[in-house]
Amino acid sequence: MSATLSPAPAFLRTVTAMTETALTVHQTARPHGFPTPGHFAFVESALPEPAPGTALVENLYWSVDPYHREMMDGDFALHAPLEGRAIGRVVDSRDPALRAGEIVFHRQGWRTHSVVTPEEARAVPRFDGVPLSAHLSILGGTGLTAYVGLTRIAELREGQDVFVSGAAGGVGTAAGRLARLMGAGRLVGSAGTAAKAAYLTEHVGYDEAFDYHTGPTAELLAKAAPDGIDLYLDNVGGEPLEAAISSLREYGRIVRIGTIAQYNSTGTPYTLRNLPDIVEKSLRMEGFHVRDYRDVQEELYEFVVPHLQSERIGLDETVVDGFGSIVDAFLGMLRGENRGKIIVRATEAASDALGG
Protein backbone atom coordinates (compact mmCIF):
# COMPACT_ATOMS: atom_id res chain seq x y z
CA MET A 1 0.00 0.00 0.00
CA SER A 2 1.39 3.39 -0.90
CA ALA A 3 1.57 6.09 1.72
CA THR A 4 -1.42 8.42 2.04
CA LEU A 5 -0.86 11.87 3.49
CA SER A 6 -3.65 13.79 5.23
CA PRO A 7 -3.49 17.23 6.86
CA ALA A 8 -3.88 16.87 10.60
CA PRO A 9 -7.20 18.72 11.10
CA ALA A 10 -9.07 16.76 8.46
CA PHE A 11 -7.54 13.46 9.46
CA LEU A 12 -8.46 13.83 13.12
CA ARG A 13 -12.12 13.72 12.13
CA THR A 14 -11.82 10.51 10.12
CA VAL A 15 -9.14 8.36 11.78
CA THR A 16 -10.41 4.89 12.74
CA ALA A 17 -8.86 1.82 14.28
CA MET A 18 -6.87 -0.15 11.71
CA THR A 19 -5.19 -3.53 11.88
CA GLU A 20 -3.37 -3.79 8.54
CA THR A 21 -2.13 -0.23 8.21
CA ALA A 22 0.16 2.05 10.19
CA LEU A 23 0.01 5.77 10.88
CA THR A 24 2.88 8.17 11.39
CA VAL A 25 2.99 11.90 12.05
CA HIS A 26 5.24 14.03 9.86
CA GLN A 27 6.23 17.66 10.20
CA THR A 28 5.46 19.40 6.93
CA ALA A 29 6.79 22.94 7.49
CA ARG A 30 8.88 25.03 9.89
CA PRO A 31 6.74 27.15 12.22
CA HIS A 32 7.29 30.85 12.75
CA GLY A 33 6.03 31.38 16.24
CA PHE A 34 3.38 29.04 17.62
CA PRO A 35 2.87 25.86 15.54
CA THR A 36 -0.57 24.91 14.21
CA PRO A 37 -2.15 21.62 13.12
CA GLY A 38 -1.24 22.62 9.56
CA HIS A 39 2.45 22.03 10.36
CA PHE A 40 1.74 18.29 10.70
CA ALA A 41 0.30 15.51 8.60
CA PHE A 42 -0.82 11.98 9.36
CA VAL A 43 0.60 9.47 6.90
CA GLU A 44 -1.01 6.08 6.32
CA SER A 45 1.07 3.18 5.01
CA ALA A 46 1.24 -0.59 5.01
CA LEU A 47 2.05 -2.22 8.33
CA PRO A 48 5.87 -2.46 8.40
CA GLU A 49 7.53 -5.86 8.48
CA PRO A 50 10.54 -6.37 10.77
CA ALA A 51 13.82 -7.37 9.16
CA PRO A 52 16.20 -9.85 10.80
CA GLY A 53 17.58 -8.34 14.01
CA THR A 54 14.52 -6.13 14.57
CA ALA A 55 11.01 -6.32 15.99
CA LEU A 56 7.66 -4.71 15.23
CA VAL A 57 6.14 -2.82 18.17
CA GLU A 58 2.50 -1.79 18.41
CA ASN A 59 2.61 1.43 20.40
CA LEU A 60 0.29 1.94 23.36
CA TYR A 61 1.43 5.22 24.92
CA TRP A 62 3.20 8.27 23.50
CA SER A 63 4.92 11.21 25.17
CA VAL A 64 4.64 14.76 23.82
CA ASP A 65 7.28 17.03 25.28
CA PRO A 66 8.36 20.69 25.20
CA TYR A 67 11.68 19.79 23.54
CA HIS A 68 9.76 18.73 20.44
CA ARG A 69 8.99 22.40 19.80
CA GLU A 70 12.69 23.26 19.75
CA MET A 71 13.40 20.40 17.36
CA MET A 72 10.71 21.61 14.96
CA ASP A 73 12.93 24.59 14.11
CA GLY A 74 15.50 22.41 12.34
CA ASP A 75 16.35 19.16 14.11
CA PHE A 76 13.31 17.27 12.85
CA ALA A 77 13.49 16.41 9.14
CA LEU A 78 10.48 17.55 7.15
CA HIS A 79 8.17 14.91 5.67
CA ALA A 80 9.63 12.20 7.90
CA PRO A 81 8.25 10.47 11.03
CA LEU A 82 8.77 12.43 14.23
CA GLU A 83 10.73 10.84 17.04
CA GLY A 84 9.56 10.69 20.62
CA ARG A 85 9.28 8.50 23.69
CA ALA A 86 6.79 5.65 23.44
CA ILE A 87 5.77 2.42 25.14
CA GLY A 88 4.45 -0.51 23.13
CA ARG A 89 4.01 -4.24 22.83
CA VAL A 90 6.26 -6.40 20.63
CA VAL A 91 3.92 -8.07 18.12
CA ASP A 92 6.42 -9.61 15.68
CA SER A 93 10.07 -10.27 16.42
CA ARG A 94 13.05 -11.30 14.32
CA ASP A 95 15.50 -11.09 17.22
CA PRO A 96 15.55 -13.28 20.35
CA ALA A 97 16.42 -10.25 22.50
CA LEU A 98 12.95 -8.83 21.83
CA ARG A 99 10.25 -11.37 22.69
CA ALA A 100 6.73 -11.25 21.27
CA GLY A 101 4.33 -9.89 23.88
CA GLU A 102 7.04 -7.98 25.76
CA ILE A 103 6.34 -4.37 26.74
CA VAL A 104 9.18 -2.07 25.69
CA PHE A 105 10.19 1.57 25.80
CA HIS A 106 11.75 3.23 22.75
CA ARG A 107 12.12 6.61 21.06
CA GLN A 108 10.63 5.79 17.65
CA GLY A 109 7.41 7.51 18.69
CA TRP A 110 4.67 9.51 16.92
CA ARG A 111 3.58 6.44 14.97
CA THR A 112 1.20 3.59 15.68
CA HIS A 113 3.80 0.92 14.86
CA SER A 114 7.59 1.08 15.10
CA VAL A 115 10.37 -1.23 13.95
CA VAL A 116 13.15 -1.25 16.53
CA THR A 117 16.43 -3.03 17.22
CA PRO A 118 17.40 -4.39 20.66
CA GLU A 119 19.70 -1.39 21.04
CA GLU A 120 16.79 1.00 20.45
CA ALA A 121 14.38 -0.57 22.93
CA ARG A 122 14.43 -1.73 26.53
CA ALA A 123 12.01 -3.85 28.47
CA VAL A 124 9.69 -1.92 30.77
CA PRO A 125 9.67 -3.34 34.32
CA ARG A 126 6.22 -3.98 35.79
CA PHE A 127 5.65 -2.89 39.37
CA ASP A 128 2.56 -3.98 41.27
CA GLY A 129 0.00 -1.19 41.45
CA VAL A 130 1.94 1.14 39.13
CA PRO A 131 0.37 1.85 35.71
CA LEU A 132 2.39 1.75 32.52
CA SER A 133 1.84 5.46 31.97
CA ALA A 134 4.15 6.18 34.93
CA HIS A 135 7.06 5.08 32.74
CA LEU A 136 6.48 8.18 30.63
CA SER A 137 5.90 10.48 33.62
CA ILE A 138 7.57 10.24 37.02
CA LEU A 139 9.40 6.96 36.22
CA GLY A 140 10.35 8.08 32.71
CA GLY A 141 12.44 10.86 31.22
CA THR A 142 10.27 13.47 32.91
CA GLY A 143 10.85 12.13 36.41
CA LEU A 144 14.47 11.32 35.65
CA THR A 145 15.05 14.93 34.58
CA ALA A 146 13.67 16.19 37.89
CA TYR A 147 15.60 13.58 39.89
CA VAL A 148 18.92 14.29 38.19
CA GLY A 149 18.39 18.02 38.50
CA LEU A 150 17.79 17.75 42.23
CA THR A 151 20.39 15.13 43.13
CA ARG A 152 23.23 15.41 40.62
CA ILE A 153 23.17 19.04 39.50
CA ALA A 154 21.76 20.93 42.49
CA GLU A 155 22.78 18.40 45.16
CA LEU A 156 19.70 19.26 47.19
CA ARG A 157 20.19 18.92 50.93
CA GLU A 158 17.53 18.49 53.58
CA GLY A 159 15.93 21.74 54.69
CA GLN A 160 16.95 23.79 51.65
CA ASP A 161 14.34 26.05 50.05
CA VAL A 162 13.41 25.44 46.42
CA PHE A 163 11.65 27.44 43.68
CA VAL A 164 10.38 25.70 40.53
CA SER A 165 9.00 27.53 37.49
CA GLY A 166 6.57 25.76 35.20
CA ALA A 167 5.72 23.82 38.34
CA ALA A 168 2.40 22.42 37.11
CA GLY A 169 3.97 20.69 34.10
CA GLY A 170 5.48 17.22 33.96
CA VAL A 171 8.95 18.04 35.25
CA GLY A 172 7.60 20.65 37.68
CA THR A 173 5.16 18.30 39.40
CA ALA A 174 7.76 15.52 39.51
CA ALA A 175 10.32 17.95 40.98
CA GLY A 176 7.86 19.05 43.65
CA ARG A 177 7.02 15.51 44.72
CA LEU A 178 10.65 14.37 44.70
CA ALA A 179 11.95 17.45 46.53
CA ARG A 180 9.33 16.92 49.23
CA LEU A 181 10.40 13.27 49.61
CA MET A 182 14.03 14.41 49.85
CA GLY A 183 13.27 16.72 52.76
CA ALA A 184 13.30 20.09 51.05
CA GLY A 185 12.41 23.06 53.21
CA ARG A 186 10.10 25.68 51.73
CA LEU A 187 8.87 24.60 48.30
CA VAL A 188 7.56 27.34 45.98
CA GLY A 189 6.19 26.97 42.46
CA SER A 190 4.88 29.20 39.70
CA ALA A 191 2.16 28.19 37.24
CA GLY A 192 -0.03 29.71 34.55
CA THR A 193 -3.42 29.72 36.30
CA ALA A 194 -4.82 30.05 39.79
CA ALA A 195 -6.30 26.55 39.48
CA LYS A 196 -2.89 25.08 38.72
CA ALA A 197 -1.33 26.96 41.63
CA ALA A 198 -4.01 25.53 43.91
CA TYR A 199 -3.36 22.03 42.59
CA LEU A 200 0.33 22.39 43.47
CA THR A 201 -0.36 23.26 47.09
CA GLU A 202 -3.33 20.94 47.60
CA HIS A 203 -2.01 17.81 45.87
CA VAL A 204 1.67 17.94 44.91
CA GLY A 205 3.23 19.19 48.14
CA TYR A 206 4.22 22.78 47.38
CA ASP A 207 4.07 25.16 50.33
CA GLU A 208 3.32 28.18 48.16
CA ALA A 209 2.42 28.58 44.50
CA PHE A 210 1.40 31.59 42.44
CA ASP A 211 -0.08 32.41 39.06
CA TYR A 212 2.66 34.35 37.31
CA HIS A 213 0.06 36.32 35.33
CA THR A 214 -1.00 38.19 38.49
CA GLY A 215 2.07 40.40 38.79
CA PRO A 216 5.84 40.72 38.33
CA THR A 217 7.46 37.40 39.14
CA ALA A 218 10.07 39.03 41.37
CA GLU A 219 7.35 40.47 43.60
CA LEU A 220 5.34 37.26 43.67
CA LEU A 221 8.41 35.19 44.51
CA ALA A 222 9.51 37.61 47.23
CA LYS A 223 6.09 37.30 48.83
CA ALA A 224 6.07 33.49 48.57
CA ALA A 225 9.67 33.10 49.80
CA PRO A 226 10.43 36.24 51.83
CA ASP A 227 13.66 34.77 53.22
CA GLY A 228 15.02 33.78 49.83
CA ILE A 229 15.74 30.42 48.22
CA ASP A 230 18.67 28.02 47.95
CA LEU A 231 17.82 26.32 44.67
CA TYR A 232 15.95 27.18 41.48
CA LEU A 233 14.77 24.62 38.91
CA ASP A 234 14.23 26.59 35.72
CA ASN A 235 11.77 25.22 33.18
CA VAL A 236 10.91 28.60 31.71
CA GLY A 237 13.77 31.09 31.39
CA GLY A 238 13.20 34.82 30.99
CA GLU A 239 11.59 36.81 33.80
CA PRO A 240 11.35 33.90 36.31
CA LEU A 241 15.08 33.24 35.91
CA GLU A 242 15.83 36.89 36.64
CA ALA A 243 13.56 36.81 39.68
CA ALA A 244 15.22 33.65 40.98
CA ILE A 245 18.71 35.13 40.63
CA SER A 246 17.62 38.03 42.84
CA SER A 247 15.99 35.71 45.38
CA LEU A 248 18.81 33.18 45.66
CA ARG A 249 20.96 33.26 48.74
CA GLU A 250 24.74 33.15 48.64
CA TYR A 251 26.08 29.97 47.02
CA GLY A 252 22.66 29.20 45.56
CA ARG A 253 22.24 26.93 42.53
CA ILE A 254 20.25 27.26 39.33
CA VAL A 255 19.40 24.13 37.35
CA ARG A 256 18.54 24.99 33.75
CA ILE A 257 16.07 22.44 32.36
CA GLY A 258 14.15 24.32 29.67
CA THR A 259 13.13 27.67 28.23
CA ILE A 260 9.54 27.03 27.21
CA ALA A 261 8.66 30.72 27.50
CA GLN A 262 10.87 31.41 24.46
CA TYR A 263 10.18 28.39 22.25
CA ASN A 264 7.40 30.13 20.30
CA SER A 265 8.69 33.69 20.63
CA THR A 266 9.41 35.68 17.48
CA GLY A 267 10.68 38.77 19.29
CA THR A 268 13.89 39.69 21.07
CA PRO A 269 14.78 37.22 23.84
CA TYR A 270 14.33 38.43 27.41
CA THR A 271 17.46 40.20 28.66
CA LEU A 272 18.54 39.34 32.20
CA ARG A 273 19.38 42.53 34.08
CA ASN A 274 20.96 41.06 37.19
CA LEU A 275 23.67 38.75 35.87
CA PRO A 276 26.28 40.46 38.12
CA ASP A 277 24.47 38.84 41.07
CA ILE A 278 25.77 35.45 39.90
CA VAL A 279 29.29 36.67 40.69
CA GLU A 280 28.42 38.74 43.75
CA LYS A 281 26.54 35.86 45.44
CA SER A 282 28.76 33.05 44.12
CA LEU A 283 25.83 31.39 42.39
CA ARG A 284 26.18 28.35 40.16
CA MET A 285 24.06 27.82 37.04
CA GLU A 286 24.22 24.55 35.13
CA GLY A 287 22.21 22.80 32.44
CA PHE A 288 22.25 19.14 31.44
CA HIS A 289 20.89 16.51 29.05
CA VAL A 290 19.03 13.73 30.79
CA ARG A 291 20.32 11.28 28.14
CA ASP A 292 23.72 11.54 29.83
CA TYR A 293 22.27 10.10 33.06
CA ARG A 294 20.62 6.88 31.91
CA ASP A 295 22.67 4.99 34.48
CA VAL A 296 20.55 6.72 37.17
CA GLN A 297 17.32 5.04 35.96
CA GLU A 298 17.47 2.10 38.39
CA GLU A 299 18.17 4.47 41.27
CA LEU A 300 15.05 6.42 40.32
CA TYR A 301 12.98 3.22 40.40
CA GLU A 302 14.34 2.29 43.83
CA PHE A 303 13.56 5.72 45.22
CA VAL A 304 10.13 6.37 43.71
CA VAL A 305 8.35 3.03 43.20
CA PRO A 306 7.81 2.24 46.91
CA HIS A 307 6.21 5.67 47.39
CA LEU A 308 3.90 5.09 44.41
CA GLN A 309 2.91 1.68 45.75
CA SER A 310 2.23 3.04 49.24
CA GLU A 311 0.33 5.98 47.67
CA ARG A 312 2.49 8.44 49.55
CA ILE A 313 2.78 10.18 46.18
CA GLY A 314 0.41 10.11 43.22
CA LEU A 315 0.74 10.50 39.48
CA ASP A 316 0.35 13.91 37.87
CA GLU A 317 -0.80 13.02 34.37
CA THR A 318 -3.12 14.39 31.72
CA VAL A 319 -4.05 11.41 29.54
CA VAL A 320 -5.48 11.94 26.06
CA ASP A 321 -7.09 8.99 24.29
CA GLY A 322 -6.39 8.08 20.68
CA PHE A 323 -3.32 8.42 18.45
CA GLY A 324 -5.35 10.75 16.26
CA SER A 325 -5.26 13.28 19.11
CA ILE A 326 -1.46 13.41 19.40
CA VAL A 327 -1.03 16.71 17.54
CA ASP A 328 -3.81 18.37 19.55
CA ALA A 329 -2.20 17.03 22.75
CA PHE A 330 1.16 18.49 21.76
CA LEU A 331 -0.28 21.91 20.92
CA GLY A 332 -2.36 21.85 24.11
CA MET A 333 0.76 21.16 26.12
CA LEU A 334 2.47 24.18 24.56
CA ARG A 335 -0.57 26.29 25.52
CA GLY A 336 -0.34 25.00 29.09
CA GLU A 337 -3.60 23.05 29.01
CA ASN A 338 -2.13 20.04 30.81
CA ARG A 339 -1.68 19.41 34.51
CA GLY A 340 1.40 17.28 35.06
CA LYS A 341 2.79 15.12 32.27
CA ILE A 342 0.66 14.90 29.13
CA ILE A 343 0.45 11.40 27.66
CA VAL A 344 -1.41 10.03 24.65
CA ARG A 345 -2.97 6.59 25.09
CA ALA A 346 -3.89 4.29 22.19
CA THR A 347 -7.24 3.28 23.63
CA GLU A 348 -8.63 3.02 27.11
CA ALA A 349 -9.37 -0.66 26.55
CA ALA A 350 -5.77 -1.44 25.56
CA SER A 351 -4.35 0.23 28.62
CA ASP A 352 -6.90 -1.38 30.92
CA ALA A 353 -5.96 -4.79 29.57
CA LEU A 354 -2.38 -4.07 30.56
CA GLY A 355 -3.26 -2.88 34.03
CA GLY A 356 -2.60 0.73 33.07
Strands (E), 119-247: 121-123, 162-164, 187-191, 208-211, 229-234
Would you place residue 325 in the very low, low, confident or very high pLDDT band (cuts 50, 70, 90)?
Answer: very high
Would you place residue 7 in the very low, low, confident or very high pLDDT band (cuts 50, 70, 90)?
Answer: very low
What confidence tens digit (pLDDT) does each residue in 16-51 have?
344 589 999 999 999 999 999 999 999 999 999 999
pLDDT (0 to 100) of residue 235? 95
State how far the Cα of 40 lies from the Cα of 123, in Å rounded to an integer.
30
Name the residue with higher pLDDT: 262 or 136. Answer: 136
Would you place residue 4 in the very low, low, confident or very high pLDDT band (cuts 50, 70, 90)?
Answer: very low
Mean pLDDT of 111-124: 97
Is residue 13 over pLDDT 60? Answer: no
- Alpha-helix residue ranges (DSSP H) falling in 149-204: 170-181, 194-199
**Nearest CA to 336 among 138, 141, 110, 166?**
166
Label residue 312 exposed, middle or buried (CB < 10 Å: 0-12, 13-18, 19+).
exposed
Q: What is the mean pLDDT of the chain?
A: 92
Would you place residue 140 in the very low, low, confident or very high pLDDT band (cuts 50, 70, 90)?
Answer: very high
State how far the Cα of 321 lies from the Cα of 256, in Å rounded to an integer.
32
Name the residue with higher pLDDT: 105 or 14. Answer: 105
State how far the Cα of 15 lies from the Cα of 3, in Å rounded to an integer.
15
pLDDT (0 to 100) of residue 347? 80
